[in-house]
Amino acid sequence: MDAVQMVFLVLLWGVPIVRFIQIYRKLDKEEQAEIKASLKNPLYYLDDGFRHIGMLLIFTGMITFIPVIQHIGISMFIISWFYGGLELLDVSYKQGVGMMSFSLIAAAAYYFFWI
């Protein structure tokens, strides 16, 4: 791995982490407690956590040319779409089913494209 790839990886992972810490420090104590509670909830990671970490892994796989990392990231991203559709069922049945269908179609398309 050359220096340019290392710089991109440090920026890719470092900027969001540093930005999150800066924003977290500016919040009130109540808002910080809410964030701590949501980070302790395992269902948070199925939706937002998988989406953000999956996107970072997708780009990490692209930068390092390691397809396994990219596949894991795309899988996490599609799982977060499906779980987001499940959560959306409470608000709107049509939108929830649409989002879950879209995630299944995306998973199938990705599977057939790479295999």
Q: To the nearest whole number, what is the mean pLDDT of the chain?
A: 92
State the pLDDT at residue 45.
85
Number of structural domains the chain divides into: 1
What is the domain extent for residue 27? 3-114
Q: Cα separation of 14 and 36, whole Å?
A: 20
State the pLDDT at residue 46.
84
State the pLDDT at residue 115.
66
Question: 51-87: per-residue pLDDT in tens?
Answer: 999 999 999 999 999 999 999 999 999 999 999 999 9
Question: 29-46: per-residue pLDDT in tens?
Answer: 999 999 999 889 888 888
State the pLDDT at residue 48.
85
